[in-house]
């Protein structure tokens, strides 16, 4: 597995690289946003560790550009921030970060977070697309989804649109999607109508996967922005 570390503080970058390479990962590091984008034109990492406050282009902008142009391999992104209040920005602006950690952090925890992300099947690249979390398993190729209930897998009876919606959510756990992004993902240029139709399909999906649809545990509303899926990686 290849990891790109984008961190302007040399000591932190070296520490991250040391711990990851001890675990058998192949790492490359750069110190600013512009260099990161240049590296990404040549290298297709499995995961990017991306500091929020870096010179040139900040982490949010780099993250947004990576997500705007997914290639044959769409990398996971773990965001680093030194400011707790920045977490809301990372999530609320829907840049597409898969996870985040606040500095100072434990290198061992960072390695654990990296492993948790990489345990998820990569979204693209020719591999079978299977998304697993603590409560759900979704197989994109087989078009099947199940929920863990009382130590057994319970198949979910989803419509095509509900399946695609859950697949979208599970492919980027923690990411906030606004209605426009979900419409682009589910209908593309063929959509004509009121974007509030997304709310209807989210409500229907919740009825099938939530223990209490009125108080959702998994598909959560982010007021003023959209929706996000939350569940622990398997």
Are 169 and 202 members of one domain?
Answer: yes
pLDDT the model gives residue 71: 53
Element (H, E) at 220: strand 219-222
In the sheet that 152-155 helps form, which strands lie side by side, from edge to edge?
130-132, 136-139, 144-149, 152-155
pLDDT at 91 over 60: no
Residue finishing a domain among 87, 119, 151: 119
Q: Are residues 197 and 135 in the same domain?
A: yes
| Boundary of a domain, candidates 119, 138, 171 | 119
The structural domain count of the chain equals: 2
Residue 157 lies in a domain: yes
Q: Write down the mean pLDDT value for the chain.
A: 84
Indicate the residue among 99, 119, 139 that finishes a domain: 119
SS3 83: coil
pLDDT at 90: 55
- Same domain flag for 83 and 165: no
Tell me: do 107 and 140 sit in the same domain.
no
Query: Closest Cα partner for 63 from 81, 82, 76, 44?
Result: 76
Instruction: Assess whether 110 and 153 both reside in one domain.
Output: no
Distance (Å, whole) CA 83 – CA 92: 15
Q: Does 223 lie in the same domain as 168?
A: yes
Contact 169, 217 (CB under 8 A): no
234 in a structural domain: no
Residue 7 inside a domain? The answer is yes
Interval 48-60 mean pLDDT: 91
Query: Is residue 146 helix, strand or coil?
Result: strand
Q: Give the model's pLDDT for residue 92.
A: 37
Based on the domain organization, do 135 and 91 belong to the same domain? no
Q: Are 53 and 82 in contact (CB under 8 A)?
A: yes
CA 227 to chain centroid: 13
- 171 in a domain, yes or no? yes
Q: Are 34 and 58 in contact (CB under 8 A)?
A: no
Residue 212 lies in a domain: yes
| Distance in angstroms (rounded) separating the CA atoms of residues 64 and 96 | 7
Tally of residues, the chain: 234
Residue range(s) defining the domain that contains residue 184: 130-229
Give exposure, 44-57, as e/b (b: 16+ Cβ within 10 Å).
ebbbbbbbbbbeeb
Read off the pLDDT of residues 5-29 as tens digits, 9 standing for 90 and up: 999 999 999 999 999 999 889 999 9
Question: CA 149 to CA 27: how far, in whole Å?
Answer: 39
Assessment of whether the complete model's pTM goes beyond 0.85 = no
Within a 10 A sphere around the Cβ of 142, how many other Cβ atoms?
A: 10
Query: Could you give the C-alpha distances from 211 to 19, 23, 147, 157, 215, in angstroms and in order?
Result: 39, 38, 11, 15, 8
Would the pLDDT of 126 be above 50?
no
CATH number at residue 114: 3.40.50.2300
Same domain, 40 and 112: yes
Same domain, yes or no: 17 and 104: yes
CA quadruple 172, 118, 86, 70: dihedral positive or negative? negative
């Amino acid at each position: 597995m290849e990891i790109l570390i984008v961190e302007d503080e040399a000591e932190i970058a070296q520490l991250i690289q040391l711990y990851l390479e001890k675990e058998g990962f192949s790492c490359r590091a750069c110190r600013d946003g512009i260099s990161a984008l240049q590296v990404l034109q040549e290298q297709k990492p499995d995961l990017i560790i991306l500091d929020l406050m870096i010179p040139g282009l900040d982490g949010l902008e780099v993250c947004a550009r990576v997500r705007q142009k997914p290639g044959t391999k769409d990398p996971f992104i773990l965001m680093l921030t030194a400011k707790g209040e920045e977490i809301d920005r990372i999530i609320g602006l829907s840049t597409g970060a898969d996870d985040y950690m606040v500095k100072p952090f434990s290198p061992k925890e960072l390695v654990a977070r990296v492993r948790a992300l990489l345990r998820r099947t990569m979204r693209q690249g020719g591999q079978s697309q299977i998304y697993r979390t603590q409560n759900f398993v979704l197989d994109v190729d087989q078009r099947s989804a199940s929920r863990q209930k009382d130590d057994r897998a319970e198949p979910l009876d989803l419509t095509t649109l509900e399946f695609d919606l859950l697949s979208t959510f599970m492919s980027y756990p923690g990411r906030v999607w606004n209605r426009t992004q979900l419409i682009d993902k589910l209908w593309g240029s063929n959509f004509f109508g009121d974007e509030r139709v997304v709310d209807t399909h989210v409500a229907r999906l919740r009825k099938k996967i939530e223990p209490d649809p009125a108080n959702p545990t998994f598909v959560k509303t982010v007021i003023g922005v959209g929706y996000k899926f939350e569940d622990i990686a398997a």
